[in-house]
Amino acid sequence: MRHLTNWARNVEYSAARLHRPTSLDEVKALVASARAVRALGSGHSFNTLADTPGELISLEALAQEVVIDPSARTVTVSGGIRYGELGARLQAEGFALANLASLPHISVAGAIATATHGSGNTNRNLAAAVSGLTLVTARGETLALTRSSPDFAGAVVGLGALGLVTSVTLDIEPSFDVAVTVYEHLAWDTLLHHFDALMRAAYSVSLFTNWARDTVDQVWLKQRVDGTAGALPLPGQDFHGATPAPERRHPLPGAPAEACSEQLGIAGCWADRLPHFRLGFTPSRGEELQSEYILPRAHAAAAIEALRALAGRIAPLLQIAEIRTMAADDLWLSMNYRADSVGFHFTWKPLQPEVEALLPVIEEALAPFRARPHWGKLFHARASHLATLYEKWPAFIALAERLDPEHKFRNDFLARHVFGAGTQERRSEMIR
C-alpha cells in the first residue's frame, strides 16, 4: 500500500494493506488471521495512533445501521458512521445527541476511542454517551460490553488497543434547537477574573485566540433555545464587554465563514449548530496540525497565564487556539476522568518540526496543572509520564494484556505513549 495519508496529510500510513470489509464476518476473519492490525477511522487523528506495520481496516464499507430505541432513549450504530450523518438520521426521527465535537466529519468509533469532545460546563465528552459497544477481539471473536460490564469503563476510550469497535450504542434525547452568537474582543482581565461565569453563560462556549493579541478574538456562545444552561444577552448587547459580531465569523482570521455553522442568533437544529463547521465543507483551513491539553478546570486561570507567557513562541506557529470546558466522566483513559476540565486546543500551521520542538515547552509549562494531552493530536509526553496522570492506568494495561495477549493491536505510537518502549519495536521487526 502506498501514499495513504490522514486528513491533514502529515501522516503517511505504513500498513502493508488497507481492507474495506463489507460484513462483520469479514472483519472477524481479517482480525483473526492478522499478525498486526489496526482500525482506520475518518483519518482525523494528527499522530500515528491508527498506524500499523500490518493490516489496516476501514469500516466505512459496512452497512451504516442506525437503530433507535425510543423507550430506552438509545441509538445503536455502526462504528464507522460519521457524526454528521448520524445527526441527520436522528433529527429526522425527532432525537438528538447531547453534544457534538467541532467537526461533524469524524467517525463515532474513532471519536470515542480518543475521548474527543465538544464544549460546555455540563457536557461530558462524546465517549461518555456510550452505553454499549461491540468489539472484534484479537481472536476474531465479538465481545459485547454495556455499562454494567466490569471492563466497560476501560474499553470505551480504548485507543484501538483492545479490538475493532464495530457497533456502538449511544444515549439520545428529544431533538432541540440551538442559537449561535459570536462576540469579539473580550478583555483578558475579564476572562481571568470571570472565567467560570463566562464558561457557564451558554450550553456550549468556545473562546478563540492567538495568545499574543491584546484581547481574546472571539467568543462563541451556543445556547439551547429551551433555555438550558445560561441566558444570553439580548440581541445587540455586549457580553462582558465583548461586542456582537456584525456578520458570520470563521474562527481563523480572514477565512470565509461559508464553511461554518449558522450564527447571528438564528436558531436551528442541534446537529447543524453544535459543530463549528458544516459537513459538506472542509473544516477549519484543511492544511494544519493540531494539539490539545486538558486539565482540571480549577487551574484554568493559572494555565491561561502560563500560556500567555509563551505567546511570543506560540503565535508564530499558530493559526488559532481554542479554549473549551467539559464535564467529568468515569472512563479510565478519558482526559476528563473524574475532573471537570478545561481544554487548550492549538491549530498549528503545517510546520511539524517546529511544532514538535515547541510541544515539550508547552507541556512543561502546563505540567504543574497535570495536563493530559488529547490522544488524537500531536504531543510529546511518553508513557512514563502519562502513567502518573491516570489513576486507572495499570488497570487499562492489564485489560489490554488480557484481551490482546499477542499484542496484534499495538503499534509504535502505543509503545511510546501507553505501554512503554521496547515491546513493539521487537514485534515490528518480526512482522517485517
**Architecture (CATH level 2) of domain 385-431:** Orthogonal Bundle (1.10)
Q: How far apart are CA 152 and CA 145, in angstroms?
A: 6
The amino acid that residue 251 corresponds to is P
Confidence of residue 31 (pLDDT cuts 50, 70, 90): very high
How far CA 421 is from CA of 228, 382, 396, 415, in Å, comes to: 47, 9, 17, 5
Cell numbers representing residue 160 in the block: 484501538
The amino acid that residue 72 corresponds to is A
**Length of the chain, please?**
432
Q: What is the pLDDT of residues 233-286, one digit of tens each?
A: 666 689 999 999 999 999 998 899 999 999 999 999 999 999 999 987 776 666
Q: How far apart are CA 120 and CA 124, in angstroms?
A: 8
How confident is the model at residue 226, as a pLDDT? 77
Q: How far apart are CA 384 and CA 368, in angstroms?
A: 16
Q: Is the pLDDT at 195 greater than 80, yes or no?
A: yes
Domain ranges of the chain: 66-174, 385-431
Confidence of residue 430 (pLDDT cuts 50, 70, 90): very low
Q: Is the pLDDT at 423 greater than 50, yes or no?
A: no
How confident is the model at residue 201, as a pLDDT? 95
* For residues 6-14, average pLDDT: 93
Confidence of residue 1 (pLDDT cuts 50, 70, 90): low
How confident is the model at residue 258, as a pLDDT? 92
Considering the entire predicted model, what is its pTM? 0.94
CATH number for region 66-174: 3.30.465.10
327: Cα separation from own chain's centroid: 14
Of the given ranges (1-10, 109-118, 156-165, 175-184), which has the lowest mean pLDDT?
1-10
How confident is the model at residue 429, as a pLDDT? 45
How confident is the model at residue 287, as a pLDDT? 85
β-strand partners of 219: 183, 207
- Mean per-residue pLDDT of the chain: 93
